[in-house]
Amino acid sequence: MTDTERAGARVPDRPSLDGLAEKWTRRWAELGTYTFDRRKNRSEVFAIDTPPLTVSGSIHIGHAFSYTHTDTVARFQRMQGKEVFYPVGWDDNGLPTERRVQNYFGVRCDPTLPYVAGYRPPQQPVQEQQAVSRRNFIELCERLTADDELVYEDTWRRLGLSVDWSARYTTIGTPAQVASQRGFLRNLRRGEAYQAEAPSLWDISFGTAVAQAELEDRERPGAYHRLLFREASGAVDPEDDTAGGEPLYVETTRPELLPACVALVFHPDDERYARLAGTTALTPLFGVEVPVYPHRLADPAKGTGLAMICTFGDLTDVIWWRELDLPIRSVIGRNGRIRHEVPAGLHSAEAGFRYAQLAGLTVGAARRRIVKLLRESGELAGEPRPITHPVKFYEYGDQPLEIVTARQWYLRNGGRDLPLRERLLERGRELRWVPEFMRHRYEHWVNGLTGDWLVSRQRFFGVPIPVWYQVRDDGTVDHGALILPDEAELPVDPQSQPPVGYSEEQRGRPGGFAADPDVLDTWATSSLTPQIAGGWERDDDLFDRVFPMDLRPQAHEIIRTWLFATTVRSQLEHDTLPWRTAVISGWILDPDRKKMSKSKGRAVGPDELLERYGPDAVRYWAACGRPGSDFTFDENLLRVGRRLATKVLNASRFVLGLGSADALRAPVTEPIDRAMLSELRAVIGTATAAFQAFDHTAALEATERFFWTFCDDYLELVKSRAYGERGDAAAASARSALGWALSAQLRLLAPVLPFVTDEVWSWWRYGSIHRATWPTAHELTPLLDGEPGLRLATVGEVLRQIRKAKSQRKVSMRTEVPLAEVSAPAAVVEEIRLAADDLRAAGHIDKLEFHPEATPELIVACAF
């Protein structure tokens, strides 16, 4: 559509922001304004890998912040002539959803229970959660997420996100399950996925393994305990304090893991312990002989410089265990208690007796008990020394993580494969990062990986791992004999259906089959969002038009999870990056400069703000925050945004009321009109370059600054002339310039203020502004005919000084000024002379005199 095509101006008498959101949300849906046109070639498409919002509670203002940023990109690209593929996704599988279902319905899943048809959850509130079958629990998850998604959708529509609602997806729906299971099976067949009995990070409260990427450190109180080991030389006599060799002191915060100790380590450069390399030591209480090794990760400045390796106290223990090829003495079970089975290596009756005093205790109780035993044996040197230190937690968990040994599924991610790690680092360098420094976070994460990606979870509402196992004749499961489905059979649920060639009666029977009981980590599915949304091997035509995608927008704290995991899956499956650009958003901070968080009760919801200020104001606030930068929530910006949207309505009504819609073909002849358009042309260039660099804030700043100058100065300067007080030609020049300026400014503001701009556009244009062309400098160049010879800011300064003089005299702005004298350098005076008639009319000046001066200042003196 060319800029002179119009529908005929239909300007309301009293335009209002009220009701615009409902009106335009409905109209966009009816017209399919944002529906993706798949007839376009890949070169004409801009594809966005939209973050699937976690459906497990409520949207907070941080979501509105970052999703608005993405929407401004989508709207800009659409107006640039691109066909935008902008799906909407809901992340509804995984632990957050399960926890919400448990709390909302008052239930917990017990997979041993039978399915109950027509089950109804207990009425709230309940004192104890009711146990339900796996199938009943999953039905409740599906029911609640469906309800939550409707609420989320309503908020997103009110916010004005220009997503294609016909292209929505979920991370638990059939397309997601098929893609996730297909990807896993291909990883398995290529040797990228494997199963291993290995140490796993374990969350006690949720009862599931978690991945390294899902950890967070939390400061917790603790204590250092100095334990007395002895060199293993001479006979061991519990009654002789000197028996067993020289004393060795080890400080630890985990004395309860003493029965799991398998070695001691010191730094190779630590001369205090160099003589111990290759020797052994005896553990306190249990008298187990353990080797002593030098190792680079031992810290000479920490504690005594001598550390005990337990299986397992922390991730460093895992590294030591793996690199030093040590045995496993596992003492903590999945329930978070000390196991009853005496670990291997505790041979003596005394050791067994002491271990029995710990068996069955929680970690905290075991710690208190073993400290008591150490005191009684004289092997606790001094009293525990209180400290505060970082402790590993699952990001959704309430208890410190433990490391337990379990059979789990892993996916190779470069943690133990250096060539793959280098390839993933190379991919990170190929990716365009906005802002660029976020790439370092990616590289830091990849270089710090200590193991492969643990992708199995011991939960219920997730994508089932598509694997069965053969059952031996003796009834034991052969985990090495996998039964895999054909890809055409997907999705499958091994826990509720048998593999091809077997019957349900053979489940768990000798010669039959057993299902893998686990589900895939939610990130193992979310890492395939480009494939799920893009129709990978479900819709080849669509996939060819959108993959690899153009943009991945996301938060910086999930670079290590979502961004990295998606890069891994795309590298393994497609040998390419999944997108060309990653735009990273920052956090929303509260007035105390702390991150707003739902879990910590510091989050603000967008619904109340949308109701109070309107969506354009909320979007304006969001657009004031730059990519990658944390942004403090300030309600004053919402007020500014609403004021801006209101001004757009009123200024547009004034401009169109002058007949500007009918004057676009008239020549622009007056210097001040051409000056305004010249400056607008520069603003268009600035805003366009900013949007191309994904800097919506810079684009908004340039546009808004010009808009207020346009309203406060230019409109006042040309108002009289536009009404026809200086003749038809001069009026036509003003009206034409006003029409062109309004058209360009509405389009510049449209990505940020979609409702008010489409409302005004509808008063005088066909179609939606969001399908109109983005303004270009070429639109205005033919109107200018060279340089205008003056600057709008210069003339505006004269007008401001006249207004100031009237304010100081406390007279009306319409008060006549008998004489106004302008003193300025000669060149500036010549500029102002070109707009003298407009200045006299705007300032109600009877006589305007000019005085060229040597002073660099511009001074206006008014005589009343």
Query: Cα angle vertex 546, ends 539, 757, to 5°?
Result: 120
If phi > 0 it is left, if psi is from -120 to 50 it is alpha, else beta; for residue 576 that is beta
State the virtual CA torsion across 621, 626, 629, 632 in degrees, nearest 10: -20
Locate 561 and state its tokens: 């999870």
The answer to whether residues 596 and 60 touch, using CB atoms and an 8 Å cutoff, is yes
CB neighbour list of residue 553: distance below 8 Å, 6 or more residues apart: 48, 49, 50, 51, 66, 69, 70, 73, 582, 583, 584, 585
DSSP state letters, 608-632:
HHHHHH-HHHHHHHHHTSPTT--EE
Amino acid at 853: E
Ramachandran quadrant class, 170 (left: phi over 0; alpha: psi -120 to 50; beta: rest): beta
Owner of token pair 């009026």: 731
* Residue that is written with structure tokens 């291997």 in the block: 344
Distance CA 301, CA 403 (A): 25
Structure tokens at 513: 């089959």
**Sheet strands side by side (includes 193-203):** 208-210, 193-203, 402-411, 453-454
Return d(Cα 531, Cα 566) in angstroms, integer: 10
Helix 635-657, helix 728-749: angle, nearest 10: 150
Residue pair 652/742 in contact by the 8 Å Cβ criterion: yes
Tell me: is residue 647 an annotated ligand-binding position. Answer: no
Rounded to whole angstroms, the Cα distance separating 830 from 832 reads 5
Helix axes 635-657, 715-722, angle to 10 degrees: 20
Reduced to 3 states, what is the DSSP secondary structure of residue 817?
strand
Residue 569 CB burial class (10 angstroms; 0-12, 13-18, ≥19)? buried
Position 764, amino acid = W
Tokens, residue 710: 């346009």
How many angstroms separate the CA atoms of 287 and 247, rounded? Answer: 13
d(CA 362, CA 368): 10
- Token representation of residue 666: 């008239």
Cα–Cα distance, 739 to 666 (Å, whole number)? 10
Q: Which of 328, 321, 313 is nearest to 401 (CA)?
A: 313
Euclidean distance between CA atoms 576 and 92, whole angstroms: 27
- In 53-116, the DSSP E strands lie at 53-54, 83-85, 89-91, 107-109
3-state SS assignment for residue 675:
helix
Residue at 97: amino acid letter = T
Cβ partners under 8 Å of residue 140, min gap 6:
101, 105, 107, 121, 132
| 351-362 per-residue burial string, b: 16 or more CB within 10 A, e: under 16 | beebbeebeebb
Q: How far apart are CA 790 and CA 829, in angstroms?
A: 10
CB count in 10 Å sphere of residue 323: 12
Question: What residue numbers does the annotated binding site for ATP cover?
Answer: 598
**Binding site as annotated, residues:** 598
